[in-house]
Structure 1
Amino acid sequence: MHNTLIATWRMAQDGIIKAMDIDSLEDAVTHVVINVEDNPLFHSVGYGGLPNSKGEVELDAAFMDGDTLNYGAVAAVQHIKNPILVAKTLSRYQRNNVLTGHGAFEFAVQNGFEARDNRYPLSQLKWRNTLQDLPASEQLEAYDGHDTVCVLGCSPAGKVCAGVSTSGLFLKNSGRIGDSPVIGSGCFADSAIGAAAATGVGEDIMKGCLSWEAVRLMQEYSPQYACEKVVAEHTAKLMSRKGECGSISLIAINNKGEWGAATNKEEFSFVIGQPWKPVQVWLAHCRNNTVSVELASEEWLSNYLLRLNQGSGN
């Protein structure tokens, strides 16, 4: 079996390379997410995630099965090693399948999931250095260079599923919940159509339930067109209503394995894994309200590795 996978940000590349040999679609998707959750150099997910205003690392994660529409999520949970695995387990429950805070932690411990202090020296240092110039909460942006890890998969039989994980907005208020654990906003999967997931400023993403909208549009349009249409129209709506819109990027895959991506940012990286092809890093750009996608150049990839080795986490 050879699945097709698409994930947000260059940080997902290593996980997708390994996941291409995993037959189970659900396991392949969660493997990619776990690979990012466990790497402290990526300061927006799991271990090493950027802290909230109190210096605490609170995590959100969700998993959705496109065959059954089963959905599970955890939000604002601390001290869990791999929140995506807790979300995946919760997706098998028909009630009490979205848990927050201490209740999510208790469920995880009672079901044998590993606990971990997700604070990491580099991200704690960034938190301390930033406190003195703490901006107003309305000015906070998604972390430059990467944000939520979102992974979508499609099996040869046309099954789709989605998994997402994040530490959320840097310096957020304690208990803040973004789009990631909210069904239809952070991700949505329906094997009759396809799956989509969003990354960026959750407060703005949730105003349009963007992942659900992208899946709905894929009934008529290609994943690429659906992503571009959703991001462009939602960005324009927020700009007309309030004069501003946070960063928003969207990925999608239909049940044929065709994929798409769009952004309202200058640059957004994503990773594609397809059967019998090498795993590739792609870039989406938005310039003059026009989206374009292209393969990442060798120079771009080299600069990324250089920044990562310098500890920037970008």
Structure 2
Amino acid sequence: MRGIGQFFAVMLMAAAAFPLAAGADEAKVKPAPTQRWSIAIHGGAGVIPRGSLTPAEESAYRQGLSDALAAGSAVLKAGGTSLDAVEAAVKVLENNPLFNAGKGAVFDAEGKNQLDAAIMDGTTLRAGAVAGVSATKNPIMLARAVMEHSPHVLLSGSGADQFAREQHIEQVDPSYFRTEKRWQQYLEWKKGRNSASLDPTHRFGTVGAVAVDVNGHLAAATSTGGTTGKRWGRIGDSPLIGAGTYAYHNDCAVSATGTGEYFIRESAARQLCDRVRWRNQSVADAAKDTIASIGAIGGDGGLIAIDGKGEVAFAMNTEGMYRGRVSAADETPRVAIYADEVIAGR
């Protein structure tokens, strides 16, 4: 028995003598994350039949989508967070005058650009949003600042721009957002024409992104200029958490685009996640059923969604939606415009 006691005493002394070394060895052999990253984006939905865009316009839209995918995927490839990835992708779309967000935003009834955006971290359920911003170059950056540096979720109007200045987020003269195309649409609207017929190829212009990173964390982001001729401080679904933007743990992340009032009434983004979470639907089935529920009450548009495994879903009840995806499993960016286009790969 004495020999056994001496053996255990020696072993205990050895363990006590080298605790740091053992910890260091564990750190060296700790396996790297095995989750595959994935990101999807959209640039708005609408009446986009084949032939409605010139070859040059179609090429420009596809390139714009590819550029946004490149920005978001670069973050994910480097091991960055899904939150950083969706912000990076949306910033590219905000800076592209083709899309109704940031630089290409439409004009409201008073001839001004009023911008909305939201972002949400599925892991923590933190969210930030802004509405009616008029001087912040990239509203999605401001939405994230609201999430990370304020006790609030949603700021609006001049207060949101003031918060942006306090956070040292780049400000621009409101004229920065003006594009001739959007101005001409506004003038047509002022003539009394049906605003729904303006720019039918980009009728519901909103941009967004959803992503999952190598740690399995989900995030969603959305940004928009709203609708041409909007009045009375109208706010759509984009900056409303649970309506146009939502992310929940490792279940799903969603960004929507369409007739915002209907997406709000159906709590579209949250509804999709609840279908995945509570009904055990696939993200594809949940997206399809959510769009069906919006169509049933008269709404039009589309959405993108992703689950914790990186499965991506696109759903729409319009003739098209500017959209794209790329993942670690297929690093070739895949983009599409028309409803009958199938994005290959996973």
Give the TM interval when normalised to the shorter protein. Answer: 0.7 to 0.9
Alignment partner, residue 290 of structure 2: 230
**What is the identity, as a one-letter code, of the residue corresponding to 1:101?**
G
CA deviation string 1:226-261 (max 9, x = no partner): 10011113322x1xxxxxx23221211000101111
Alignment partner, residue 267 of structure 1: 320
CA deviation string 1:151-185 (max 9, x = no partner): 00001221000111000011111411000111100
- Equivalent-residue separation in structure 2 for 1:143 and 1:7 (angstroms): 20
Alignment partner, residue 20 of structure 1: 73
Alignment partner, residue 25 of structure 2: none
**What is the identity, as a one-letter code, of the residue corresponding to 1:26?**
L
105, 124, 144: which one aligns with 1:88: 144
Contact 1:33 1:150 (8 Å CA) reproduced? yes
CA deviation string 1:22-58 (max 9, x = no partner): 132222111111111112232x111131100111000
- Equivalent-residue separation in structure 1 for 2:132 and 2:87 (angstroms): 19
- Equivalent-residue separation in structure 2 for 1:204 and 1:142 (angstroms): 20
**What is the identity, as a one-letter code, of the residue corresponding to 1:123?**
R
**What is the identity, as a one-letter code, of the residue corresponding to 1:265?**
T
Moved more, 72-81 or 258-267: 258-267
How far off its partner does 1:266 sit? Answer: 2.1
How many residue pairs are counted as aligned between the two chains? 280
Structure 2 residue runs of 5 or longer lacking an equivalent are 1-32, 44-61
Q: Name segments (4+ residues, structure 1) moved above 6 Å.
A: none
How far off its partner does 1:147 sit? Answer: 1.3
Structure 1 residue runs of 5 or longer lacking an equivalent are 239-244, 286-291, 297-314
155, 164, 187: which one aligns with 1:128: 187
Alignment partner, residue 41 of structure 1: 98
Question: Which structure 2 residues correspond to residues 1-314 of structure 1 after superposition, within 5 A?
Answer: 3-9=37-43, 10=62, 11-22=64-75, 23-24=79-80, 25-42=82-99, 44-93=100-149, 95-116=151-172, 117=174, 118-135=177-194, 144-145=201-202, 147-219=205-277, 220-236=280-296, 238=297, 245-275=298-328, 276-282=330-336, 285=339, 294-295=342-343
Structure whose CA Rg is larger: 2
TM-score after normalising by structure 1: 0.83
CA spacing shift, 1:186–1:142, aligned 2, 3 Å:
farther
- Equivalent-residue separation in structure 1 for 2:338 and 2:313 (angstroms): 10
